[in-house]
Amino acid sequence: MLKGKRILLIVAGGIAAFKALELIRRLRERGASVRCVLTDAGAKFVTPLSLQALSEDRVYSDMFSLTDESEMGHIQLSRDADLLVVAPATANILARMAGGLADDLAATVLLATDKPVLAAPAMNVRMWTHAATVANVETLRQRGIHFIGPNDGAMACNEFGPGRMSEPEEIADAIEGLLAPAERPLAGKRAVVTSGPTREAIDPVRYISNHSSGKQGHAIASALAALGADVTLVSGPVSIADPPGLTTVHVDSADQMLAACLAAGRIDIAVCAAAVADWKAARPAGSKIKKKAGMAPPSLELTPNPDILATLSKPGQQRPALVVGFAAETENLVANAIDKRQRKGCDWIVANDVSPAVGTFGGERNTVHLISASGVEDWPTLAKGEVAMRLAGRIALHFGRPPKAEAAE
Ligand code: PMT
């Protein structure tokens, strides 16, 4: 995907600098050439020799090197690249970029470039959330600098939270998204898709569930992955296989499904195609409820399940940029779905008729209506895979990145 593309990789000084080595390998596997600029602080974490060995090119560090300036020149370094990648992008280099400093080779190249720049921040969680860093990142975003990450997780400083540099594979995907946008328009985007039914235990052997097969949700997860998204599929119990090329988390109940969605961390896209049970047993029995002669049937008290779609749609910093729900209706399909979109607070809702006569549950085809703030689109009856590809294409367009077919039109 990156054949012939030239990446100038700026390695700044953070513990995550070791991941730059893996990033070079990933980029070269994809056909890119990589040239490195190493800051003085970066050289405390990785050696120029390692970068040189993996990139099979010289490593540039010194702004005042007579040899480098006569052979290459700091302006030429950025001219010769298709993309500049700062990984790790420390609080220090982000501040220097935002302030327009040119106090070393890396900062000078970044100031002198007219090429796109992707930054992969990596720093302590308090540094990342500090008002100064927040303001610097905002300034850089407004100037068109692209960002990937940081991810949440345990950090070298024994703290937990956002600040871990994205993994090399994620950064390589984001680079592809920038340099080959029509091929993988959702590269660099993280998505969660829910699929299948949930099972709500009545006792250890009985449960409440529904007929969802997972075919529609799994197809959507695959379609998003095919367009380059990093997808976590949260699947209820189904008999179909896990799709390749993405992460599948298996759950039983709605509570588990919600927890798995939240555990996926910061995401850009959520598609809730699962048929989540609206209610669960208020007090599931710890052992099998015995049927005894002459005994009246036991009554079952229900309590509401958490609403996963409504939870993910809640406004706030963690809200995905795009939340898509499904509406399974047996009557007044479009009117009920419009109402559901508003009640749940999602951006789009895909309405489908699940009357038994239509055969949507478990079937191969689906007739849907895509409902957004701008109106209702009626789609023809399509195979579930086609519905999925169409929806994924619309999602890519929403992020301003038309997939190949649309790009060629
Ligand atoms: O799995 P298949 O056999 O391929 O069938 C596909 C499908 C019919 C299951 C799918 O296309 C579909 O319509 N999924 C949504 C089913 C559903 O639960 O619809 P609903 O109208 O009850 O819920 C509306 C939305 O809220 C859905 O996005 C649902 O995932 C979500 N929800 C509902 C209840 C709840 N407690 N939490 C939720 O997140």
Ligand 1: which of 212, 256, 370 to mutate, judged by most atoms within 8 Å of the beta carbon?
212
The response to whether residue 308 sits with its C-beta less than 6 Å from ligand 1 reads yes
Query: How far, in Å, CA of 401 to CA of 45, rounded?
Result: 36
185 located within any domain: no
The response to whether residue 253 sits with its C-beta less than 6 Å from ligand 1 reads no
For residue 403, name the pLDDT band (cuts at 50, 70, 90). Answer: confident
The response to whether residue 216 sits with its C-beta less than 6 Å from ligand 1 reads yes
Kindly state whether residues 242 and 217 are assigned to the same domain: yes
Which of 179, 204, 222 lies at the terminal end of a domain, its last residue?
Answer: 179
Residues that are catalytic? 157
Which of 152, 179, 206 lies at the terminal end of a domain, its last residue?
Answer: 179
Kindly state whether residues 137 and 65 are assigned to the same domain: yes
Kindly state whether residues 244 and 385 are assigned to the same domain: yes
Q: What is the pLDDT of residues 267-276, one digit of tens each?
A: 999 999 999 9
Q: What is the pLDDT of residues 177-231, one digit of tens each?
A: 899 888 889 988 999 999 999 999 999 999 999 999 999 999 999 999 999 999 9
Q: Whose CA is nearest to atom 16 of ligand 1?
A: 275
Higher pLDDT, 400 or 37: 37
The response to whether residue 360 sits with its C-beta less than 6 Å from ligand 1 reads yes
Total domains in the fold of the chain: 2
pLDDT on residue 409: 41
Q: What is the pLDDT of residues 111-136, one digit of tens each?
A: 999 999 999 999 999 999 999 999 99
State in Å: Cα 306 to ligand 1 middle.
13
Tokens of 396: 């890519």
For residue 105, name the pLDDT band (cuts at 50, 70, 90). Answer: very high
pLDDT on residue 155: 76
For residue 405, name the pLDDT band (cuts at 50, 70, 90). Answer: low
The response to whether residue 271 sits with its C-beta less than 6 Å from ligand 1 reads no
CA angle 395/223/189 to nearest 5° reads 50
Nearest atom in ligand 1 to the alpha carbon of residue 216 is 4
- Per-residue pLDDT averaged across 60-79, rounded? 80
Q: Is the pLDDT of residue 282 over 90?
A: yes
Residues 159-190 as b/e (b if ≥16 CB within 10 A, e otherwise) read eebbbbbbbbebbbbbbbbbbbbebbbbbbbb
The response to whether residue 17 sits with its C-beta less than 6 Å from ligand 1 reads no
Query: How far, in Å, CA of 282 to CA of 289, rounded?
Result: 15
Kindly state whether residues 36 and 61 are assigned to the same domain: yes
pLDDT on residue 308: 98
Q: What range does the domain containing 374 cover?
A: 190-398
Q: Is the pLDDT of residue 407 over 60?
A: no
224 located within any domain: yes
Q: Is the pLDDT of residue 152 over 90?
A: no
Q: What is the pLDDT of residues 301-346, one digit of tens each?
A: 999 999 999 999 999 878 999 999 999 999 999 999 999 999 999 9
The response to whether residue 197 sits with its C-beta less than 6 Å from ligand 1 reads no
Kindly state whether residues 28 and 167 are assigned to the same domain: yes
The response to whether residue 359 sits with its C-beta less than 6 Å from ligand 1 reads no
Kindly state whether residues 156 and 203 are assigned to the same domain: no
Are the CB atoms for 227 and 185 separated by under 8 Å? yes
Ligand 1: which of 193, 309, 364, 386 to mutate, judged by most atoms within 8 Å of the beta carbon?
309
Kindly state whether residues 121 and 149 are assigned to the same domain: yes
pLDDT on residue 406: 57
102 located within any domain: yes
Kindly state whether residues 114 and 141 are assigned to the same domain: yes
- Per-residue pLDDT averaged across 235-246, rounded? 95
Higher pLDDT, 331 or 1: 331
pLDDT on residue 184: 87
Kindly state whether residues 112 and 205 are assigned to the same domain: no
122 located within any domain: yes
Q: Is the pLDDT of residue 366 over 90?
A: yes
- Per-residue pLDDT averaged across 104-111, rounded? 96
Q: Whose CA is nearest to atom 10 of ligand 1?
A: 273
CATH number at residue 174: 3.40.50.1950
Query: How far, in Å, CA of 86 to CA of 80, rounded?
Result: 16
170 located within any domain: yes
CATH number at residue 386: 3.40.50.10300
Nearest atom in ligand 1 to the alpha carbon of residue 305 is 36
Which of 139, 160, 179 lies at the terminal end of a domain, its last residue?
Answer: 179
Kindly state whether residues 137 and 216 are assigned to the same domain: no
State in Å: Cα 363 to ligand 1 middle.
15
Kindly state whether residues 121 and 23 are assigned to the same domain: yes
Nearest atom in ligand 1 to the alpha carbon of residue 326 is 28
User: Average model confidence (pLDDT) for the chain?
Assistant: 93
409 located within any domain: no
- Per-residue pLDDT averaged across 338-357, rounded? 97
408 located within any domain: no
Q: Whose CA is nearest to atom 14 of ligand 1?
A: 273
HEC readout, 220-284: HHHHHHHCCCEEEEEECCCCCCCCCCCEEEECCCHHHHHHHHHHCCCCCEEEECCECCCEEECCC
DSSP-assigned beta bridge partners for residue 231 = 191
Tokens of 275: 């048929």
The response to whether residue 387 sits with its C-beta less than 6 Å from ligand 1 reads no
Q: What is the pTM of this model?
A: 0.75
378 located within any domain: yes
Higher pLDDT, 149 or 42: 42
Kindly state whether residues 34 and 174 are assigned to the same domain: yes
State in Å: Cα 275 to ligand 1 middle.
4
Are the CB atoms for 27 and 1 separated by under 8 Å? no
